[in-house]
Amino acid sequence: MTPKELAWAFIKAYTSAHNEPFTKGSVFGRTDTLQNLRARLGVERDKIMDDSAALFEFAKECLSSTTVLFDLGLDALNKEELGALVPLALHMCARYGTKDTLAESVLDTVARQFPELLHQDIRDVFQLSCDSPYGAFEKAWRGLDRASLEFFKNKLTSTEWDRGEASRLERGELTIKRKLLKTLLASRDKETIEFVYQYMLENRPLIAERLKNREDYQRFLDVSIEDVGFTRRGGEIVSCCPSASYHFVFQKYYYFRGKRRRHATETLEPVTPCLEFGGVLEEGENPLCHLITLEPIPAGIKISGLRRLVLGVHLRETDMSIPFYQHDQNGYPVKIKDASNEVREEDRCHNFPIKPSTVAFAPTPQRWILQEWEDGNGNMFKLGGEPAWIQSPDIQTCPVCGEKMDFLMQLDNGLPDMDKERKDGEVWWGSGGMCYVLWCDKCNVSAYVMQCT
């Protein structure tokens, strides 16, 4: 049985045998024996039972990696199969609640990968989210029709504020009102975002009681819209993400050296020529490390004044500061020095340059446009599209023009480095995180933001 068939049988068994709540890990809990597992998967007996070795391996993996494998299994299903799980998952959530269930994983996955599959049930989906203090399935609101958006806008303005708002917020819970804000913003519909932004401006004391001063509240508003790929520039709300999205395609054995599962985003077909990647631009104690030279610049990436762009950064400074570079006519980076990004020699971290190679780009299939940073989620190396922030969104302000920048590229951790002493050294971005490259197209300025868990 292939892993895909196993995952499918597994999911079907879970979602169709709904005579008890299935919590993450409970069926494959530590006390479960293989026998127990067989009994519980009885509904799919014919399909799955004749390969007990494969089943055992699968169960074992579930024991050690809990939902990661389940989620990976969902990533391996096709649209039709996922669509077939939606009614079951909705039923399961309605019956047992959304907290910590595998059915919730199904809805989360579908919301992120095929939001349209949830549109006809969008009011039920919202109702379900109301029963959960945390989740909102908000990614399902992408591409929603006008009438439905209007419905939720009206709901936002007509819903009463929750009396316990402040104390619930302290606990990190989302009230109905906050869910409505979150879902409407997540539609990524400009008009809707402008509406919500205005509403939030006018309802400040109720939305964020704790944020007493003006700047804190403004930062809160900025993060709310940056979380869905928009920012404020020149008083307007605009997209800060390139319209095109590409995934990196590495040379064989360079990055996915058999250490990871093969996710669909790791095996995409490149459409660009191979571009120079890694190495060093300027040697020294604190080398200017080369990331990539975009020549040509792939279509749909918002770089208008240059024919080529050389992205390079002092990697030893990225843990302690956010370095900015101004690019000359040839696209070459020169560091913008100011007091805010000076890193003392003793505070520099020990990052080594990235091992040189070449990479090409493959257009991101629609399904993988929104990825979340978590283990086992496939290829997280992207040019353009929307970033997957590990922490709060952090769109920087350009030091030259004072306006918010655009997102340009993100690099995951684990790239081989040039440490001569350790053959298997990797670039970690702090304790294991991601590097986000931002761009101001007006000033040809790049910035490097590192985030980790």
Give the shortest CB-420-to-Zn ion separation in angstroms.
Answer: 38
- State the maximum Cα–Cα separation within the chain, in Å, rounded to a whole number: 68
Give the shortest CB-194-to-Zn ion separation in angstroms.
Answer: 23
Give the shortest CB-237-to-Zn ion separation in angstroms.
Answer: 18
Q: Which two tokens stand for residue 71?
A: 């989620």
Stretch that binds Zn ion, among 53-61, 213-221, 314-322, 392-400 (CB under 5 A): 392-400
Give the shortest CB-223-to-Zn ion separation in angstroms.
Answer: 20
Closer to Zn ion by CB, 130 or 401: give it: 401
* Binding residues for Zn ion restricted to 404-443, rule: CB under 5 A: 440, 442-443
Stretch that binds Zn ion, among 17-25, 35-43, 148-156, 401-409 (CB under 5 A): 401-409
Contacts with 64 (C-beta within 8 Å, 6 or more apart), sequence order: none
Q: Are 433 and 413 in contact (CB under 8 A)?
A: yes
Per-residue string for binding with Zn ion, 200-239, x by CB under 5 A?
----------------------------------------
Nearest in space to 410 (alpha carbons), one of 431, 425, 395, 426: 395
Please tell me whether residue 398 binds Zn ion under the rule CB under 5 A.
yes
Give the shortest CB-397-to-Zn ion separation in angstroms.
Answer: 8
Q: Which two tokens stand for residue 122?
A: 């969008």
Q: Which two tokens stand for residue 197?
A: 């932004």
Q: Of 400, 419, 425, 452, which one interacts with Zn ion (CB under 5 A)?
A: 400
Q: Of 401, 419, 426, 432, which one interacts with Zn ion (CB under 5 A)?
A: 401
Please tell me whether residue 306 binds Zn ion under the rule CB under 5 A.
no
Closer to Zn ion by CB, 385 or 399: give it: 399
Please tell me whether residue 302 binds Zn ion under the rule CB under 5 A.
no
Closer to Zn ion by CB, 32 or 441: give it: 441
Closer to Zn ion by CB, 401 or 452: give it: 401
CA atoms within 13 A on the CB side of 284: 10
In this structure, are strands 357-363 and 382-384 parallel, antiparallel, or unpaired? Answer: unpaired
CA pair distance 288, 279, nearest whole angstrom: 9
Closer to Zn ion by CB, 75 or 406: give it: 406
Closer to Zn ion by CB, 304 or 431: give it: 304
Per-residue string for binding with Zn ion, 322-341, x by CB under 5 A?
--------------------
Per-residue string for binding with Zn ion, 347-386, x by CB under 5 A?
----------------------------------------
Count of residues engaged in binding Zn ion, rule: CB under 5 A: 6
Closer to Zn ion by CB, 71 or 406: give it: 406
Closer to Zn ion by CB, 40 or 442: give it: 442
Give the shortest CB-401-to-Zn ion separation in angstroms.
Answer: 3
CA pair distance 7, 109, nearest whole angstrom: 14
Stretch that binds Zn ion, among 48-56, 88-96, 259-267, 397-405 (CB under 5 A): 397-405
Closer to Zn ion by CB, 325 or 361: give it: 325
Q: Are 7 and 76 in contact (CB under 8 A)?
A: yes
Q: Which residues bind Zn ion (CB under 5 A)?
A: 398, 400-401, 440, 442-443
